[in-house]
Each structure stands twice: as C-alpha cells, then as structure tokens.
A and B are shown apart, each in its own frame.
Chain A
Amino acid sequence: MTGPEHNPLADGLNLRRRPDGCNLVIFGASGDLTSKKLMPALYSLAVRQLLPEHFGIVGAARTEESDDQFRERMKRAVQEHSRDEFDQEVWDGLAGGMHYITLDFADEKGEDELRDTLTKLDEERGTGGNRVYYFAVPPSAIGTIVDEIAERRAAEGWIRLIIEKPFGHDLQSARDLNTRLQEHFAENEVFRIDHYLGKETVQNMLALRFANGIFEPIWNRQFIDHVQITVAESIGIEGRAGYYEQAGAIRDIFQNHLLQLVAITAMEPPIDFTADSVRNEKVKVLKAMHTPGPKHVIRGQYGAGFVEGEAVRGYREEDAVAPGSMTETFVAAKLYVDNWRWADTPFYVRMGKRLARRETTIAVQFKRAPHPPFEDAAAEGLRPNVLLIHVQPNEGVSLAIGAKVPGQGMTIRTVHMDFLYGGAFREGLPEAYERLILDAMLGDATLFTRSDETEEQWALVDAIVSFWQRDRPSFPNYASGTWGPATSDELLHRDGRSWRRH
C-alpha cells in the first residue's frame, strides 16, 4: 500500500491494536466482581500497555465512598488478586484517572453528576466522549440505567455496554431487556459477557477443531459416540443465597456457560473469525437443540458432606436459604443437536456445586474400533478413544489411546497423550476478563453473546423448567463432595454408557 496517508514506518511493526481513548464506567463498583476480576484485569492490561493512552475509570455504586477511598480499595484488590506483581508506577498511571460516584441507579441527580464527571474527564484526559459502561449489577437494575445513559448520551464518541450475566431470568425477561436495549442502542453497541468465552482453552477449542486437519473429518455422528461436558464446582453458594435461590444451577451455569461449551463443540466451521460469522454458527446449534423430555433432565441439591476432607453444610442449611428450598444446585441432561452432523449423538452435560472437585471438561468419546483383535488381551477392557479438553484447571488437551504394555504377549492399556497449555506455552494465561474488556473497547463482539443467542438459550431453559413445575423431587439428593445424585448416573446407564471416571 502506498500513498500519502500510508505510514511506511508502521509496516512490519508488531503494533498491537490499542483502543481509542475512552472512559470506563463500572456500575456496581462496590461489588466482588469489580475487586476480584475487573480491576485486576484492568491493571494487567495496563502492565502490558494495552489500555488506551487516554483512559479514565469511574466507579459507581450505592455505597458511600470518596475517590481516595475507592482508589485505596482498588489498590488492595489489585495487590491481592492480580496475576502480575504490583508496580507502583503502573498503578499510579491507572489510579490517576480513577473516580468514584455514589449513585442510586434511578437517581437523576447522581446520573447528572456521573455525566458531568465524564465530560470533565473528556476534557482532562482527551477521551473524546467515548464510553464503555460495565453493568456489574442485577438484571432488574439494567433497564433503568440504560434509559439514564441514553438520555445523557454525549454528542460525540462511541458507546459500548458490557452486560454481565444473568441476562434476564427467562425468555420473556430476556426479550424485554433486549427490546429495552434496542430502543436506545444498536446491537453492535451491546456486549453481553459470558466470561467462559474469554478463557484461552475455550478459544483453543476453536483452534483445535478448525486449525487441525485431523479432527474435523471425524467430528460427527459417524465417528463420535457421544460428548460429555462437565462444569463442576467444589464450592457452595459462598453467601450468594439471594441470587442463587432465584437462579439455581440452570440459570447460573446451564443457560450461559454450559450452552456456550455445547455450541462451540457442535458448531459448523465459521467462514471467518468475525463476530457475526462465529455467532451465526453458534445460534444454528442452539436452534437445532432438541428440548429434552423430563426423563432426560436430572435435578439435584446438595446435602451435608465432606469437601476436601472438610465437613460442609447442606444447601438448605446455608445462610439465607429457605429451609425447604427447592432450588437445584445440580443439573444433568441429555441433549441432542438435530442436524446432519450430530443426529442421534447425545451430549451429556452436568453442572453443579459442592461436587467432588472443581473441573470443567469437554470429553469427546469416539466409537470403538470396529473389530479389535486384542479383546482377550486387554488388561482392563479396551476403552474407546476419548479426546479430553480441560477448560480448567490444568488447561490442556489429552487423547486417550490404547497402547501395548511392554513385554511378552499382547496386553493393551489405555494411556493418555497430554498437551498441557502450561507445558508448551509458559507465558501466564491471561484472565478471561482481560481479553473481554479489551475486545469490547476495540468493538470486537466475537466473544460476546448476541441477542438471538441469549433468547435461544432461554427458550431451552424455559422448556426444561416448565417440566419442573409439576413435580417435587426429594431434596437434598446428593451429599456434598460427590459427583451428584444417583439418578445422574442412571441417565447414562440407561443408554449403556457412564460418566467419565475421574
């Protein structure tokens, strides 16, 4: 490329795309998400000089706090939670443009003050009216804030809204929220965040499938027997009873993280890696997803038990949980994706709290070898090949293959070929929020959920939940520290399969 506007000196330089100058407003800045995830992510971006040169942060929440108190609290949060060592110089650069506003979200005066602060920051820091609004608030508060922001939209600059999960409570509320957003903002200004999509290993699933010639030809019903996806947490509800009693496992994990993992595993190759191409393919999977009948969805709730040797309470004994609560803390389901590639191939999914260990995995189990001549000699029965994607912890990929045990005779055992992310690439993996905040600032929505995607997710959840109105399972039905209720095992046993051994 030539011409007067072309800079020949920029050619070949590894210039990272830096976002335009902007101000980031965090609604819900007094919450845990801000101190544990958002601020450490912003600090790590600052360490790597990935933030815009002209940048300001405004925290907004109901809690009374001064600018200095906010900065001090954020500094401690960074020192405690950042993956990078604390550097005073980097912090000073970030904290210099940091402000706090005490704000009731429906409060006109507070919103005016926010607008004035932002206008002042535009003048001081040259941020040109560009705004990123981060909604770390409950869904009920979003609508009001959206109206207030739209009313006070600056004449210049772009706006991006990052909206945390849960996005609505059911299909209707998600539609209502989408309609409210669309009244004021275009779809490319709305970034619905699902932090799982920011995880390196989830993105690596796309690389694994579409950058390697060997997997895609066998990635279908002809070669794959079934897929198992596990999103297991060993922790309980960690004092979030108010939220969890309303949400349960189906809204907390299934509707977002779990369905994203299914979509990424099952989607067709996108024609390119742009936001719409990737999201079109994911929506097709969600549309093709068969609503499982009540027999194919298992609910559970944890009772007392032991996690890592420590006695823990049951869900109903947790603080602020109703003693007769029917909220599910575990869901297992058999899903089908009704398309040419996956017809009749079950996707078994399970997710829950207080399970035996923290683990997120996608296990793709291939069909058995058609005629293994070694059946008698197999030490533990010949097991089918499994491609296992470890999303967390110990990010990596492993392939279970049968191998001959050295020595006389022909004994076969299953061994794992492992690729550990941390083994090949020793750079620390970036936190999901770093990637996602930066992408939103750059206006790249590939790793965010589109409105039709959220609605398809909720449609499936609504269909499942509608069955649940009719019966009252006997809760609790699994002990903390186990892999869920016995009915979850039966779900697979009925099909002559079983959950992966851990």
Chain B
Amino acid sequence: MATSLIENDWTGEDVSIAQIERELARLRSESAKEGAQPNLRTSVMTHIAWAPPEWQSAAEETLAGMAERHPSRTLLLVPRPDDPDGLDALLSLRCFPIGDRAVCGEVIELALRGNRAFAPASIVLPLLISDLPVFCRWRGEPRWDSTEFEQLTGIVDRLIVDSTEWPDLPAAYAQLAELFSKVVVSDIAWERTERWRSLLASLWPAVGGVQAIRVQGTRAQGHLLAGWLRSRLGHDVELEIEEREVLEGIDLDGQAAPFPPGRPPNASDVLSAQLDRFSRDPFYEAAARAAAA
C-alpha cells in the first residue's frame, strides 16, 4: 500500500457550512501539482463518526488506520453540548498516490458546540455526497431516546455500533432491536466473534445439543454468542462470562473448544469490513434479540 500523504488541512472556529465547502474545494484544487490533472476525490460513501470527547482519540486512531482503504468523505462529529453555541471545523485532505495522480479523501472534523450538538442532521445533510450510501459509526452507548440519535439514524443507511463499549448489557440489545426495522445495524462486537462462530459451526453436528457455554471475552461477545446459539439452535443455552479484553476461549458444556485459525483482525480491519456491507444481517438481529430476552 502506498504511503498516506496528508497534503493539507484547514482549521476554523465558528464556521458556516458554506465556508467548509469553500475551503474543501480550495484544499482539493491546491493538492494537485501545478499543470497536472486534478486529483480525484473518491466517492464510494459518506462515513459519519459520532464521537463524544471521551471517544474522540480512539475514533481518530481507527479512522487513520482505514483512511487508505475507504478514502471517502468522513465526518467526525464531536458533540460538546456544554460549550457555547457554535461550530468549529478541522478539514484535512488525505491523498494517496496512484500512478501519476492521487486519490483524495476528506476528513471533516466538527465540534458541535452548545445547541448544535442536538441538531446534527442539519449540519450533516448538506455535507453528504449525493446518491452514495451513508454509514454512521456511533461511539459509546447511544442515548436511545435522544434527538441527536434519532436524527442521525434517520438519515443514515447503516448504523455501526460496538456493543463492547456499552455498560448496560444485555438490556441495551432490546433498545437496539427496536431500530432494526428503521436502519441497518451492524455491531463490531459481533464481527469480532466471526472467527469463533465459524469454528463453532465447524463442530456441527456435535455442537447442536450444547446446553451451556462459558465465554472468556468481553461481555458483549458472551451475550451475542449465547444469543446466536439460542436463536440458531432453537433452545436455551446458559451463559457464563469470564471477562477478558478480547475473546480468548469458549467452553462448550465444560469442554474447551479449539482455538480458531488465523489472527484476530484489528479495529480498522473490523470497521473496514462493516463498510463493505450494505444489507441487513438477520442472524445478528436474531442473536441480539435472543441475547436481550
């Protein structure tokens, strides 16, 4: 992969959307070499990340890891409801060389101050790239009945959460399940169990009668794996969780399952995989419902 070149950026306080668009156009035109063809802006999606201040640096790190794979327009929204009203922007153009040209993605980092934090849709809508899918990565557990959550889930095609970040498990899955008919949801915690689910599936038919599992992993992974087994096998499966940072092992009725082959994917790989999918995942939806039941 080519090295990323952050060619240019711009910061502004108390900015307007028109100003943001103007500055982006300027950054794009300045990024091309003099006399050369203009650089290309890649347009495969708009990617929104909702990151409250405590999640901001984690969000930036993940975005940096995958900017080259999905060099689209990214809107990083940082709500600051306690600050005075206003909108601050940090715009950066990230260009990657291909042959004698470069492909540029744009990262628009916006601090939504004061009341702006409760009206994100009106800020995001004018900045979406027309006719392309919109993904929203929501950091932390959403306030399920908040205006900002309702607004953003109303305009995006796919909501990406990581239920590992949620304190209120498994009850929060019931809240999430209410969204399934409104917006396509995917869960990074679920994606991280995929290697293990493939492994468990390979143990069929012996695994079919499993009654209890013990998961050494995050709480989200434990609940989702148990929910998945319950929903697929059609009978109850008891769950015991031994909390770990990552999924380290699964016991089936007291017997340790073998370790799945390959290495676990990193945060950027997992998010990147989610951005390649567009349709609902009925197996996840069933697992989340069964986890909450």
Contact = CB atoms under 8 A, between A and B. Distances in A.
A13 B204 CA distance: 14
Contact of A49 (B44, B99, B204, B262): B262
Interface in A413-436: 418, 420, 422-424, 426-428
Nearest to B228: A9
A393 B229 CA distance: 48
A426 B101 CA distance: 15
Interface of B: 1, 40, 42, 44, 68-71, 96, 98-99, 101, 103, 194, 197-198, 200-201, 204-205, 207, 228-229, 232-234, 261-262, 281-284
Given A9-B201, A9-B204, A11-B283, A420 B103 contact: yes
A48 to B, nearest CB: 9
Contacts, number: 60
A15 interface: yes
Contacts of A9: 197, 200-201, 204, 207, 228-229, 232-233
Interface in A1-47: 4, 7-15
Contacts of B44: 424
Contacts of A246: none
A394 interface: yes
B201 A10 contact: yes
A4 B70 CA distance: 42
B232 to A, nearest CB: 4
A10 B40 CA distance: 41
Contacts of B201: 7, 9-10, 13, 15
A378 B1 CA distance: 41
A4 B206 CA distance: 12
Interface of chain B, main secondary structure = mixed
A12 B103 contact: no
Q: How large is the interface on A (under 10, 10 to 19, 20 to 34, 35 or more residues)?
A: 20 to 34
Contacts of A420: 40, 98-99, 101, 103
Given A14-B194, A423-B103, A428-B1, A418 B98 contact: no
Contacts of B197: 9, 13
A484 B81 CA distance: 68
B69 A427 contact: yes
Given A394-B99, A423-B42, A426-B68, A11 B198 contact: no
Nearest to A47: B262
7 contacts: A8-B232, A9-B229, A12-B284, A420-B99, A420-B101, A422-B103, A424-B44
B96 to A, nearest CB: 7
A423 B40 contact: yes
A426 B71 contact: yes
Contacts of B40: 418, 420, 423
A12 B204 contact: no
A234 B24 CA distance: 40
Residue of A9, A11, A14, A427 most packed against chain B (CB within 10 A): A9
